[in-house]
Amino acid sequence: MMFGPPKISVTPAERYANAVGNCWPVAIMPAPGELLSSWLHRLAYANGVPPRYFGALLGAPGENWSARLDRALPDRILRLLGEHTHIPLEDIAALTVAPDPLAVLRLPLRPGSQQTCAPGRQVTWLQFCPACLAEHETPYFRRDWGLATRVSCFRHGCRLRDRCPSCGQGLAPFSQKRLVPHQICAWCGAALCKRTRPSTNGIRRLERLIDDLLRLQAAGHRMAEGRSLLDLLGSACFQFSRRPMSIARLSHRDRYQLFQKLAEGRSTPFEKRRSSAISYWKRVAQVAPAWGGLVTSFTDAVLPQPKAEHCSITAGPNLVDLVQAAARLDQQRQAL
């Protein structure tokens, strides 16, 4: 019988680099509609690197590094991400908002200065739906949330936020120095998932109408007057904090207040001078209460109706009857 410490055998294993190549340890697939910066923050967290330092690793140091990549993603960083994640380059590039036909309606990258915004009303580059963040195991931020014309969530019907509900600071997931998910405030460490109050039906109808108009713009539809829809929506100025500002320069609170006044037909904080842009906003607000949506209107027009009793006389489609039927359906929906 032999006594003594047990012998331990060590067998050299294959080097990690040889086994996985240049691929990073954890690969994160982008979610539908996700913003590039959101995916980068999740990728950094999954691979054990706080977002504050992940930008330097990619060769994009500095403040707002991931937000700047949303607007302009250099080819060298795109290739680097593709090499280390093995995700097709076109899928990564699709997460950006560049080239961005809606740039005039995007929230700005940096907070406004004290000269342009009153204290507590500084705008931020990112807003979000707390309900969307709360319902996903791995929350992510959407591209659509960056539009200034969005003040509520189309899925949950609740208001969006553009700052932490605990400390009131704007979001800065790109500055997070700790290894925590990006639904945690980088300033105070509180969760961003605190629910907001529901948005009103009038505001949601106004948002839907604007969203449908923007979709028509993206599909190539042009206004007869020659002016761009984006120009009309983005160039109108509103009187907040004693200075005229475009909608993209307003905080979420001010934009929600603006939409509420427009939806209710109350006096709105437009600047005093008259312009075609202001007139267009007022026309949109007047049409919104009766707007059923492009999808609903199209469905009502093209889906086959239940067959009636056999008739020997076949009549062609009557556009007037179709329009009147659509109006009756809309009135019935409003009465429900």
pLDDT, mean of residues 307-316:
44
77-86, 260-269, 295-304: range with highest mean pLDDT: 77-86
Residue bearing tokens 């307003």: 250
- Does the structure show a pLDDT above 50 at 119? no
CA distance 141 to 36: 9
- CA dist 318 and 112 (Å) reads 54
Instruction: Reply yes or no on whether the pLDDT at 307 is more than 60.
Output: no
Which one has a higher pLDDT value, 309 or 97?
A: 97
Among 5-19, 73-87, 119-133, the least confident range: 5-19
Q: What is the mean pLDDT of residues 239-266?
A: 88
CB 37 within 8 A of CB 57: no
With 0.75 as the threshold, say if the pTM is over it. Answer: yes
For residues 37-61, average pLDDT: 94
pLDDT interval class at 55 (50, 70, 90): very high
pLDDT of residue 268 exceeding 90:
no
pLDDT at 316: 47
The proportion of the chain whose per-residue pLDDT surpasses 70, expressed as a percent, equals 74
Over residues 119-137, the mean pLDDT reads 79
pLDDT interval class at 317 (50, 70, 90): very low
> Cβ contacts of residue 120 below 8 Å, gap of 6+?
168
Where is pLDDT greater, at 320 or 19? Answer: 320
Average pLDDT, the chain: 82
> For residues 305 and 326, is the Cβ–Cβ distance under 8 A?
no
Percentage, residues of the chain above pLDDT 90:
50
- Mean pLDDT over 191-215 rounds to 93
Q: 229-238, 248-257, 266-275, 286-295: lowest mean pLDDT where?
A: 266-275
What whole-number distance in Å separates Cα of residue 283 and Cα of residue 37?
36
Is the pLDDT confidence value at 188 over 60? yes
Q: Report the residue count for the chain.
A: 336
pLDDT band for 10, please (50, 70, 90 cuts): low
* Averaged pLDDT, 281-306: 74
Do residues 255 and 151 lie in contact, with contact meaning Cβ atoms separated by under 8 Å?
Answer: yes
